[in-house]
Amino acid sequence: MGFAILNGKIIDRSEAKVDVEDRGYQFGDGVYEVIRVYNGKMFTVTEHLHRFVKSSDSIGISFPFSSEQLTSLLEELIVKNNLRVGIIYMQITRGVAPRNHAFPTEDVIPTFVAYTKEVPRPAESLKTGVKTILTEDIRWLRCDIKSLNLLGNLLAKQKAAEEGCFEAIQHRGEDVTEGSSSNIFIVKNGLVSTHPSNHLILKGITKDVILQLCAKNNIPLKERTFSLEELEEADEVFLASTTSEVMPIIEIAGKKVMDGMPAPVTKKLQELFVQEIEKQCGALKES
């Protein structure tokens, strides 16, 4: 099982226990992050920690570490767990207090937990692409906070799983927002479009890397809301997330995207994304 971090200490993972009155357990009163690890090195760690602190601040949990402290703790955890390719999952909750919806009035120590998991790169799906469904976005209006409350996302992903699909593309009425655990991009006549980073979606770190790669490589990109009709008529569609990287979408609600094969702009961005990983984490093994 390896080791985990509980409130700043690295301990045996089997000893990392949560109180029944932890507010994360009872209310989902907390925030989380997932960081990719390649070759034992964290990818875009600064960006993830920045978003973690921002999510935490936005619900009034004061972050108990400096970014430098947390980075070195996470590095230590990777070494102790001998993690090469995988993820770090971490979360912070408001802490343990007698159950009451309102925040505790006395000082409560937030509960911080982190652990690692081996997760290979999804080599096969990156090559062939994945299938998706469409579902109404029923989530709250602060999707920019990486909250532990994921019920809307879970119901969407479960619906996808039941239909043998990898992801659910959510929409509010006619407007496409994002996947249940990813950001969604379309390509039409060479222009890449993705939902603006506002309260309706999570500002993905992978999305931000793609935005920078497009800017640097003269690939036209616009952050704008696009419709279900535009999604249906797109030349290419792909999703982006920490675990899935730049993942081609080849089918939506039973209909093929063009000829149902990963297409040139998506493939170009996959190539540029791998170069970015290799810049930060060293060469990736051919899989």
Examine residue 202 and tell whether it contacts ligand DCS (CB under 6 A). yes
Examine residue 193 and tell whether it contacts ligand DCS (CB under 6 A). no
Min dist CB 119 to ligand DCS, Å, is: 9
Residues 134-153 touching ligand DCS, rule: CB under 6 A, are: 153
**β-bridge partners, 130:** 249
Handedness of CA 22, 25, 27, 30 (dihedral sign): positive
- Candidates 52, 46, 34; CA nearest to 71 is 46
**Of these, 29, 137, 178, 245, which contacts ligand DCS (CB under 6 A)?**
178
Examine residue 242 and tell whether it contacts ligand DCS (CB under 6 A). yes
Examine residue 165 and tell whether it contacts ligand DCS (CB under 6 A). no
- How does DSSP classify residue 166? S
- How does DSSP classify residue 109? P
Query: Looking at 9, 41, 80, 146, which residue is catalytic?
Result: 146
Retrieve residue 269's tokens. 């961005």
Rounded Cα gap, residues 213 and 210, in angstroms: 5
Residues 30, 24: contact at Cβ < 8 Å? yes
Region of 62-70, 129-137, 181-189, 218-226 interacting with ligand DCS (CB under 6 A): 181-189
Nearest residue (CB) to ligand DCS, 96 versus 205: 205
Site string for ligand DCS, 32-51 (x = CB under 6 A): --x-----------------
Examine residue 204 and tell whether it contacts ligand DCS (CB under 6 A). yes
**Of these, 241, 250, 257, 265, which contacts ligand DCS (CB under 6 A)?**
241
Q: For residue 146, indicate whether it is catalytic.
A: yes
Min dist CB 44 to ligand DCS, Å, is: 8
Rounded Cα gap, residues 158 and 132, in angstroms: 12
Min dist CB 97 to ligand DCS, Å, is: 26
**Of these, 135, 181, 194, 270, which contacts ligand DCS (CB under 6 A)?**
181
Rounded Cα gap, residues 196 and 203, in angstroms: 8
**β-bridge partners, 5:** 10, 114
Residues 42, 36: contact at Cβ < 8 Å? yes
How far apart, in Å, are the Cα atoms of 110 and each of 69, 114, 251? 16, 13, 43
Single-letter amino acid code for the residue at 140: W
Write out the catalytic residue numbers. Answer: 146
Q: Give the binding site for ligand DCS (CB under 6 A).
A: 34, 153, 178, 181-183, 202, 204-207, 240-243
